[in-house]
Structure 1
Amino acid sequence: MLRDMSDNTENSSSEAANGSSVNEDNERDHPDGEALSLPSSLAGSGALDRLVETARDYARAAASENTLKAYAKDWTHFARWCRMKGAEPLPPSPEIIGLYLADLASGSGPSPSQAASRPLSVSTIDRRLSGLAWNYAQRGFTLDRKNRHIATVLAGIKRKHARPPVQKQAILAEDILAMVATLPYDLRGLRDRAILLLGYAGGLRRSEIVSLDVHKDDTPDFGGWIEIFDKGALLTLNAKTGWREVEIGRGSKDQTCPVHAVEQWLHFAKIDFGPVFVGTSRDGKRASETRLNDKHVARLIKRTVLDARIRSELPEKERLALFSGHSLRAGLASSAEVDERYVQKQLGHASAEMTRRYQRRRDRFRVNLTKAAGL
């Protein structure tokens, strides 16, 4: 269905291993718009042909770019595995997929001549299965995840290999203050200070931060916009669960106020249209028109964590592994001393249980059931 569902690297390696044609594999594995083709009785209608392209564009927008890339790699890996085992990826076979999941969990090599690969985590295997289900749906097939050949193997993998989730460490209030204190007051420093403070106060994902525009519909790829008022800023975001609003009030002082930081950045960068957060020139004196990549947020967090000497008792490699873009969201959930429902709304979670997963220290032992039970 989607033309960009191929991975050149994987295809090249599988071609070398099997001597097969990459083009032939692509024709078989990635049908050109088959799921959105017209019925034969309507073929040749120019107006409908144009609507097919429009429908394909909407189909691409159903998932984020990163998700589509991950699903494309999932399918490429599975198709290559099938060829290595002498099987066919189409139509879906629950028996073959069950064997594939077992192979991922055990870490056995794709062929006797190759070394064993590293076993994948349960969460990665589950994500691979979701990727296969999505890819089969685009090709007009249905993958029944409840089929016993899939469900029982997956249940066994989870029972035998599941581990407690590895959570990134939360950036707490004292941490974020130390991190922004390491930034200079040049143009690049103003931008990065606004990113950290806005992301922390809003509990934002890194993709949500960089997708902001100054106004609604400033750019085709915008993921939200920001409105600044006397009492704070209102962000309207196109998040995973749909459009939502995030209120960010002004801080107690300008040095740590996220709204003031954004105002300073927009003013000195002379930005009044388009993306809020853009790159800067090499000398740090001019803002470009190019939207920042969300990876900049992750790199910024890791760099300022090191500069602020947070968790300095650990080796640098371990410190870097502890923190990521999600550390900002976990920090807000763990630090905000307000009713949990307000934190849940700010993070855009559908359930309080999801919000509690982000809380690293808050609410522990708040309710003492031991005493309540009379002990």
Structure 2
Amino acid sequence: MTVDEPSGTKPTDSDALALPSHTGGLAGSGALDRLVDTARTYAQASTAENTNKAYAADWKHFARWCRLKGTQPLPPSPEMIGLYLTDLAAPQRKTPALSVSTIDRRLSGLVWNYAQRGFTLDRKDRHIAAIMAGIKRTHARPPVQKEAILPDDIRAMVATLPHDLRGLRDRTILLIGYAGGLRRSEIVSLNVGKDNTLDSGGWIEILDDGAVLTLNAKTGWREVEIGRGSSDQTCPVHALEQWLHFAKIDFGPVFVRTSRDGKRALDTRLNNKHVARLIKATVLKSGIRAELPEAERLALFSGHSLRAGHASAKVTRRDRFRVNLTKAAGL
């Protein structure tokens, strides 16, 4: 028996779906096994992969906190969770306090984890709601407005990248993300073809006039068109074609890791943190907003900066690429 899953509780969410107890002779015969496996896949796909990882980490942190306090995470106790949230906002030791948004996310993670285990945690319970309201009133700060990346900025940023395979990949990420107004998660979830892999968040289609991206976004499926640019140096479609060619990618994830020497593409898909780090690194190297201290410059730009300057071109027209927004965006 472990502290994370006390005796008598339901198993973790990856194993939460099992054969019904009344299947009789069918159980274990394979008649329902395939459906159970498929149901587990659908259950895991109900939330994004990064969200699943974050929620799993939330539960692990809370279970460890309970162990240190001499209590158990199950069944849910609103009073105990209220104390947990208090400790996150005002820790007694030298541990730094978490931001209000992170605490709120941790609470959402607990609600989700309890639901997977067959319990209900009511966020509106007074022991939770009152404490969260007090935390927000005491510690909440207005969000830092991220700066939009402008045409001169993106050109300066891509100019800082080396001319090896890794540099070509990162140049493509910046140009595609900027021209399409994409979220960083949308960029790294792209596949070469439709449904190549289970973790695909969309795919690309390269045409004579540009590329069409089909994305499974937060608001549902959408298509984004990216026209060809004014020159090969800043054309996102040309960069994409060059990356796929030299990286020898014709299946699976578009953007993958490279070898240490930056000369060989690997099989592992990049995560969205790479895009954020790439933006910050190239902002610093390019000298954008150089009049500000480095910490302030880094705080002004994030993965959202690629999509803050303009809206992407949603494909709602019968004739694609009638208006080339890539050239209109300065590329």
TM > 0.5 fold call: yes
Report whether the alignment pairs 1:101 with 2:79: no
Identity over aligned pairs, percent = 75
What secondary structure is seen at the aligned counterpart in 2 of 1:41? Answer: coil
Q: CA RMSD in A?
A: 2.6
Alignment deviations for residues 307-340 of structure 1 (CA, whole Å, 9 cap, x no partner): 211122234344334333222122xxx3x3xxxx
Counterparts of 2:124 and 2:172, CA distance in 1? 46
Report the more deviating stretch, 160-169 or 310-319. 310-319
Alignment gaps of 5+ in structure 1: 1-22, 109-114, 337-342, 347-375
Question: In 2 relative to 1, CA 312–92 (structure 1 residues): closer, same or farther, beyond 3 Å?
Answer: same
- Equivalent residue for 1:174, pick from 128, 152, 164: 152
User: Aligned AA for 1:40?
Assistant: S
What are the residue-to-residue correspondences of 1:113-124 with 2, within 5 Å? 115-124=93-102
TM-score (norm 2): 0.82
Question: In 2 relative to 1, CA 105–301 (structure 1 residues): closer, same or farther, beyond 3 Å?
Answer: same
Question: In 2 relative to 1, CA 87–184 (structure 1 residues): closer, same or farther, beyond 3 Å?
Answer: closer
Contact 1:233–1:247 under 8 Å retained in 2: yes
Contact 1:35–1:140 under 8 Å retained in 2: no
Offset at residue 162 of structure 1 (A)? 1.3
**For residue 232 of structure 1, what is the aligned residue in structure 2?**
210
- Equivalent residue for 1:40, pick from 6, 18, 21: 21
Contact 1:213–1:274 under 8 Å retained in 2: yes
Counterparts of 1:279 and 1:81, CA distance in 2? 35
Report whether the alignment pairs 1:154 with 2:132: yes
**For residue 11 of structure 2, what is the aligned residue in structure 1?**
31
Alignment deviations for residues 46-79 of structure 1 (CA, whole Å, 9 cap, x no partner): 2234432322222112222221221112112222
What are the residue-to-residue correspondences of 1:1-375 with 2, within 5 Å? 23-28=1-6, 31-32=11-12, 35-42=16-23, 45-46=27-28, 47-108=31-92, 115-330=93-308, 334=309, 336=310, 343=311
Offset at residue 116 of structure 1 (A)? 4.3
Question: In 2 relative to 1, CA 286–128 (structure 1 residues): closer, same or farther, beyond 3 Å?
Answer: closer
Report the more deviating stretch, 188-197 or 138-147. 188-197
User: Aligned AA for 1:55?
Assistant: A
Alignment gaps of 5+ in structure 2: 315-331
Counterparts of 2:40 and 2:24, CA distance in 1? 17
Counterparts of 2:72 and 2:261, CA distance in 1? 55
Contact 1:200–1:329 under 8 Å retained in 2: yes
Counterparts of 2:63 and 2:53, CA distance in 1? 15
Count of equivalent residues: 308
Question: In 2 relative to 1, CA 102–312 (structure 1 residues): closer, same or farther, beyond 3 Å?
Answer: same
Counterparts of 2:4 and 2:205, CA distance in 1? 46
